[in-house]
């Protein structure tokens, strides 16, 4: 008998966007949606349209853009469901996803509703959603801490009301794998009409068990899993798509299922998502971390050279982490540059290609070889950039261990060059103070991260900053072989993005 295909609902754009500090703009969400579609996600949960106009617009744009399923989340509230439908209805495969909490603690303290009220609200909401949309998913929030008997009752009722998928979230990442698998088995054995619905799971990672719990659920009959790229999501995040998929792929002997994910696109999707969200991938992250396929000890290196399978249970190629043989340098022309980017999976507009090429040439003048990582970084900085209300023209720094740092910064704004100078606690603080003097307002720094794009003394520094403005967090990125320039570029980029959102 052919193996059944497990459905992947990716919620990077909804739960993943709830990662503290992540605030994606429309073009970034569209880029992630396209990556997810190419990766092979069956359904993309694109957002929560009732939450804000920005979420509504993003869900609508994603529904217009991709051909796979697009889900919009809604509470069991008529206004939410209507708004969610307005956002997804033009999609090729729209889905409405309604949820309500079913655990005693949530019902009593958050919803202030009785079991009967929750049950009626769930049924009415599923019926309303079904009157708009043929594909309705229902979630029992905090299912893993709910009374199983109540779960069986509410699930049977929403399936009768028209839910085609019933999702069982481990909302607070509390379950243990054996327990969660038993919960799924119990649902399959005790909900009389469960055969009419797809059983789905949605696991959070508070105890580091999201992938293990999802695997246990699959082994107990879950037919849809909800994941995010890089495990992004509320608090400690959600089940990481790349870890789950490579687990199922590498240890297929443990599963009766297949999946539709093109694993060779995993690495690219993960790296772009990290860039766009500003949440870096830790070096020891399974599958996509920089060390995931690195072998340090002599014994391991010897083993891998003799036979890679001694220490590699999967190949870097299988997740799309390939070593490039085509290296670019300062003599490379526009054609070689365009060919290279195409081979890396980028199809850029003429305009972006033009500006990226100029930046590549200037980098190639400073660096012997320009690596794939350098190119990724350059292209990332040109895609999805906010309109440049302010553009860095020049800066000068005076700094040392016995003097107060001083910076003078010139920004181009409305065809006018604006210059200010300021002191600070170090060169970057001084430069940021000068920038604030030019742009005005309050732009406090929430976080500052710097990393070298590649190894070596001539490596580019990539700075990611988060600033607070107008009650929101805005992420900015800057790239340069000069780390102070990268820092100022990142700060100005965050400010431009802050203005872009208002
Ligand atoms: O974690 C959760 O319970 C959720 C639901 C809304 C599906 O994200
Ligand atoms: Zn969640």
Residue 10, CA distances (Å) to 15, 43, 238 in order: 9, 6, 10
User: CA gyration radius for the chain?
Assistant: 25
**Token pair for 498:** 């802050």
Residue 97 CB–ligand 1 contact under 6 Å: no
Contact 204, 226 (CB under 8 A): no
Residue 297 has a pLDDT of: 73
Residue 325 has a pLDDT of: 54
**Token pair for 32:** 């992630």
How many residues does this entry show for the chain? 502
**Token pair for 67:** 């051909």
Mutate to test the pocket of ligand 1, among 84, 171, 214, 237 (most ligand atoms within 8 A of CB): 171
Ligand 1, residue 14: give the atom nearest the CA.
8
**Which bound ligand lies closest to the C-alpha atom of 9?**
1
Low-confidence ranges of the chain (pLDDT < 70): 323-327, 384-385, 501-502
Residue 138 CB–ligand 1 contact under 6 Å: no
Residue 323 has a pLDDT of: 67
Residue 15 CB–ligand 1 contact under 6 Å: yes
Residue 141 CB–ligand 1 contact under 6 Å: yes
Residue 324 has a pLDDT of: 59
Which is nearest to 103 in space by CA: 76, 143, 153? 143
Distance 262 CA to ligand 1 centre (A): 26
**Token pair for 312:** 């590699």
Kindly report the backbone phi and psi dihedral angles of residue 182, in degrees, each rounded to the nearest multiple of 5, phi listed first.
Answer: -65, -35
Give dist(CA 34, CA 67) in Å, integer: 10
Which is nearest to 438 in space by CA: 466, 467, 408, 460? 408
Residue 202 CB–ligand 1 contact under 6 Å: yes
**Given the DSSP bridges, would you call strands 472-480 and 461-469 parallel, antiparallel or unpaired?**
antiparallel
Distance 214 CA to ligand 2 centre (A): 13
Residue 200 CB–ligand 1 contact under 6 Å: no
**For residue 14, what is the DSSP state?**
T
- Other C-beta atoms lying within 10 Å of the C-beta of residue 471: 5
Ligand 1, residue 141: give the atom nearest the CA.
3
Ligand 1, residue 238: give the atom nearest the CA.
1
Contact 463, 487 (CB under 8 A): yes
Residue 226 CB–ligand 1 contact under 6 Å: no
Residue 155 has a pLDDT of: 98
- DSSP H or E segment with residue 452: strand 445-452
Ligand 1, residue 169: give the atom nearest the CA.
3
Give me the helices (H) in 278-333, please. 298-306
Which protein residue has the closest C-alpha to ligand 1 atom 1? Answer: 171
Ligand 1, residue 143: give the atom nearest the CA.
3
Residue 1 has a pLDDT of: 77
Residue 294 has a pLDDT of: 80
Which protein residue has the closest C-alpha to ligand 1 atom 8? Answer: 15
- DSSP H or E segment with residue 39: helix 26-39
Mutate to test the pocket of ligand 1, among 139, 146, 166, 225 (most ligand atoms within 8 A of CB): 139
Dihedral of alpha carbons 39, 43, 45, 50, sign:
positive
Distance 263 CA to ligand 1 centre (A): 26
Distance 71 CA to ligand 2 centre (A): 14
pTM for the model: 0.86
Give dist(CA 220, CA 148) in Å, integer: 16
Residue 456 has a pLDDT of: 73
**Token pair for 368:** 């012997």
Distance 169 CA to ligand 1 centre (A): 6
Mutate to test the pocket of ligand 1, among 10, 49, 169 (most ligand atoms within 8 A of CB): 169
Which is nearest to 214 in space by CA: 202, 230, 231, 205? 202
Which protein residue has the closest C-alpha to ligand 1 atom 2? Answer: 171
Give me the helices (H) in 367-426, please. 372-382
Contact 453, 429 (CB under 8 A): no
Distance 234 CA to ligand 2 centre (A): 7
**Which bound ligand lies closest to the C-alpha atom of 232?**
2
**For residue 252, what is the DSSP state?**
G
Distance 22 CA to ligand 2 centre (A): 15
Residue 448 has a pLDDT of: 93
Q: 156 CB contacts (<8 Å, ≥6 apart)?
A: 191, 192, 193, 194
Give dist(CA 364, CA 342) in Å, integer: 19
Distance 320 CA to ligand 1 centre (A): 30
């Amino acid at each position: 008998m052919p193996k059944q295909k497990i459905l992947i609902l990716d919620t990077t754009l909804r739960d993943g966007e709830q990662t503290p500090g992540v605030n994606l703009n429309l073009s970034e969400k569209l880029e992630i949606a396209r990556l997810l579609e190419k990766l092979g996600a069956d359904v993309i949960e694109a957002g929560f349209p009732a939450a804000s106009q920005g979420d509504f617009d993003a869900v609508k744009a994603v529904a217009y853009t991709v051909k796979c399923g697009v889900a919009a989340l809604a509470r069991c509230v008529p206004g939410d469901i209507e708004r969610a439908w307005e956002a997804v209805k033009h999609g090729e495969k729209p889905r409405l996803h309604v949820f309500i909490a079913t655990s005693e603690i949530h019902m009593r303290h958050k919803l202030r509703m009785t079991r009967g009220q929750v049950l009626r609200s769930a049924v009415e909401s599923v019926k309303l959603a079904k009157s708009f949309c043929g594909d309705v998913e229902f979630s029992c929030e905090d299912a893993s801490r709910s009374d199983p008997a109540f779960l069986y009752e509410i699930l049977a009722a929403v399936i009768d009301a028209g839910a085609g998928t019933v999702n069982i979230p481990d909302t607070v990442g509390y379950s243990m794998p054996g327990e969660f698998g038993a919960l799924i088995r119990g649902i399959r054995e005790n909900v009389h009409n469960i055969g009419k619905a797809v059983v789905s799971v949605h696991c959070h990672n508070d105890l580091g068990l999201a992938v293990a719990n999802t695997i246990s659920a699959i082994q107990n009959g879950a037919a849809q899993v909800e994941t995010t790229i890089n495990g992004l999501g509320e608090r400690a995040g959600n089940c990481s798509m790349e870890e789950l998929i490579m687990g199922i792929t590498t240890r297929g002997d443990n599963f009766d299922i297949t999946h539709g994910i093109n694993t060779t696109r995993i690495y690219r999707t993960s790296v772009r998502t990290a860039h766009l969200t500003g949440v870096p991938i830790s070096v020891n992250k399974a599958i996509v971390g920089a060390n995931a396929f690195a072998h340090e000890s002599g014994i391991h290196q010897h083993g891998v050279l003799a036979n890679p399978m001694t220490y590699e249970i999967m190949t870097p190629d299988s997740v799309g982490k390939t070593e490039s043989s085509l290296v670019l340098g300062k003599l490379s022309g526009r054609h070689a540059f365009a060919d290279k980017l195409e081979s890396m999976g980028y199809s850029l507009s003429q305009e972006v290609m033009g500006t990226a090429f100029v930046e590549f040439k200037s980098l190639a003048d400073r660096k012997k070889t320009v690596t794939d990582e350098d190119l990724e970084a350059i292209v990332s900085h040109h895609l999805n950039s906010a309109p440049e209300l302010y553009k860095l023209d020049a800066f000068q720094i005076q700094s040392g261990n016995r003097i107060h740092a001083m910076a003078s910064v010139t920004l181009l704004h409305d065809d006018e060059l604006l210059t200010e100078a300021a002191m600070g606690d170090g060169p970057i603080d001084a430069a940021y103070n000068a920038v604030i003097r030019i742009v005005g307002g309050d732009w406090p720094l929430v976080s500052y991260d710097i990393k070298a794009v590649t190894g070596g003394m001539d490596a580019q520094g990539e700075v990611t900053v988060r600033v607070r403005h107008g009650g929101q967090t805005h992420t900015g990125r800057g790239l340069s072989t000069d780390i102070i320039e990268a820092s100022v570029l990142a700060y100005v980029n965050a400010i431009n993005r802050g203005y872009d959102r208002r």
